[in-house]
Amino acid sequence: MAFMLVAEPAAPISGALRRFLESAGHEVMLASDVPDAMGRVREMAPAVVMASVSDGFDGEALCRQIKSEAPGIPVLLLYLPEEEYPEARAASAGAEACLVGPLKRATVVSCVSLLMQVAQAREAVTQIRSEMQMMQSGGRREQTGSGPSPDLEFLKRLLFMEVKRSRRYRYPISFLILEPDKYAERLGSLPPMQRTSVLADVLGKLAEALRDIDLAVPFAEGRFIVFLPHTPYEGAMVVAERLLQRVKEVQSFSGLTASIGLAVFEPAAMKGQAQVSFGTLMKEAGESLRKAQTAGGDRVEGGRPVIPAE
């Protein structure tokens, strides 16, 4: 169970949203104006805030205020059906996601669940970065085994679930694998502490360039996964090019560049029932990464919609 805040002045709409969320096992608080909503945010620190954007309620202003005081709380903005640019407006306000009415229970519950899971995954990313910084400063983390870390396993489960949701509700997702160019030759030969320092700097630059709903985490030696939910090909390419530039800004290693392999799943553009899997996206992004590296690096390859083999 988690606390949810629904900021909506219209009783029929707030009541319906409350029923949707309570049916999924959440506890719901209601607010009818911005001051009331902010008071509840400060008092209860809800897991997710759902805020209406209409003539009677300025959810975007509420979102900006929440982000100024409690940036870690995810905000889901709700727009009217006639809104032409909901995603751009929501991004400008700092919201993690948006929905456009009319709202269905499955869509609302799925989106709220995703926001909660992404928030948990971001906490895991913070832990990973802290551990890398601890290693950089000379600390050591006791290892009890040689298998994958619990944080990475959590991320993989999250991505598995998100691919399933994308298939069912037919929204796009994009998946990137990034690796510094000539990693084995240039970084692999560095002393472990120095190499860890550079990789921590790379991760920091990636995180700075992403939305709150996106994820960037270490995946394997020298490689990073970047996950972009609700992002079609065009948006993913913009992000990928931005990440290439951010890697060049790393100051702990001069002249660093990277290659990116991109895989995009756009179920709405496909006919019939799409059956793409997490493994398909991993394979596609990995093959695209190798193409980018073979072509000389410092580039993005891939991004064609992933279509399952017949």
Q: % helix / strand / coil in the chain, to the nearest 5?
A: 50, 20, 30
Q: How far apart are CA 256 and CA 309, in angstroms?
A: 37
Portion of the chain with pLDDT greater than 70, in percent: 76
Calculate the average pLDDT of the chain. Answer: 81
Q: Which residue has the higher pLDDT, 1 or 197?
A: 197
Unique residue bearing structure tokens 């290659």: 259
User: So what's the pLDDT on residue 56?
Assistant: 86
More confident call, 140 vs 67: 67
Does CATH number 3.40.50.2300 belong to domain 3-103?
Answer: yes
pLDDT score of 211 more than 60:
yes
Per the model's pLDDT, the better-predicted residue between 166 and 305 turns out to be 166
SS3 call for 36: helix
Q: Report residue 200's pLDDT band, with 50, 70 and 90 as the boundaries.
A: confident
How confident is the model over 82-138, as pLDDT tens digits? 888 888 888 888 888 888 888 888 888 877 877 776 666 566 555 555 555 554 454
Helix, strand or coil, per DSSP, at residue 141: coil
Overall average pLDDT of the 232-238 stretch = 91
pLDDT at 119: 67
38 CB neighbour count, 10 Å cutoff: 19
Residues of the chain with CATH 3.30.70.270: 123-135+149-305
**Nearest alpha-carbon partner for 202 in 140, 281, 132:** 132
What mean pLDDT comes out for the span 32-59? 91
Phi then psi dihedrals of residue 175, to 5 deg? -140, 125
Indicate the pLDDT class of residue 262, thresholds 50, 70 and 90. Answer: very high
Q: Which residue has the higher pLDDT, 110 or 231?
A: 231
According to the model, what pLDDT value does residue 142 have? 40
Residue 136: what pLDDT?
47
- What pLDDT band is residue 55 in, cutting at 50, 70 and 90? confident
Q: Name 65's Cβ contacts closer than 8 Å, sequence gap at least 6.
A: 34, 38
Strand partners, 6: 30, 50
Q: Residues 132, 230, 23, 58: is their CA dihedral positive or negative?
A: positive
Which of these CATH numbers, 1.20.1530.20, 3.40.50.920, 1.10.3720.10, 3.30.70.270, describes 123-135+149-305?
3.30.70.270
* Nearest-10 crossing angle of helices 11-23, 105-136: 60
pLDDT value of residue 300: 96
CATH 3.40.50.2300: which residues of the chain? 3-103
Give the span between the Cα atoms of 79 and 274, in whole angstroms. 28
What is the per-residue pLDDT across 135-187, written as a single tens digit (0 to 9) for each? 445 444 443 333 444 455 556 666 666 666 666 667 788 989 999 999 989 98
- Write b or e for each residue in 118-142: b if 16 or more Cβ atoms lie within 10 A of its Cβ, otherwise e: bbebbebbeebbebbeebbeeeeee
